[in-house]
Amino acid sequence: MDFDEAAVWIEDLQRHNCSYYEDRLSGYRKELRDEAAFCGDAMRMLQASSLAALERLNQRGIGLIILDECHHLLCHWGSVLSEPRS
C-alpha cells in the first residue's frame, strides 16, 4: 500500500468506524508520548494549555503537587512532572 492508498483507507475508516479509528489513534499517541518521555523530551508533547498550567505553578513557586488517584496518570505525566524546568 502506498501513501495515497493509506490516506484514503484512513479517511474511510474515520468516516465509517469512528470508534475504532479513535481507539487506534489514541494508542499511537500514547506510544509517541511514552517514547518522548523515555528520551527525556516529555515537555515537547504537551499542548499550550498544559505548558501554561505548568508555568503558572512554577511562577507561584509550587514545588510539591499531591496527586490523588495518581495510578490513573500515564507514564508520560510522571516524566513531565519530573523534568527540570528552566
Q: Residue holding cell 519530573?
A: 82
pLDDT of res. 16: 95
pLDDT of res. 56: 93
Q: Are residues 13 and 22 in contact, defined by beta-carbon separation less than 8 angstroms?
A: no
* Per-residue pLDDT tens over the stretch 43-73: 777 889 988 988 999 899 998 888 777 766 6
pLDDT of res. 59: 94
CB-based contacts of 76: which residues, under 8 Å, 6+ apart? 30, 33, 34, 36, 37, 42, 45
pLDDT of res. 86: 61
pLDDT of res. 85: 66
Residue 55 belongs to domain spanning: 3-82
How far apart CA 27 and CA 16 sit, in angstroms, is 19
Q: How high is the mean pLDDT of the chain? A: 83
- Alpha helices (H) along 3-47: 3-16, 18-38
Please state the domain count of the chain.
1
Tell me the mean pLDDT in the region 12-25: 92
How far apart CA 40 and CA 82 sit, in angstroms, is 10
pLDDT of res. 11: 93
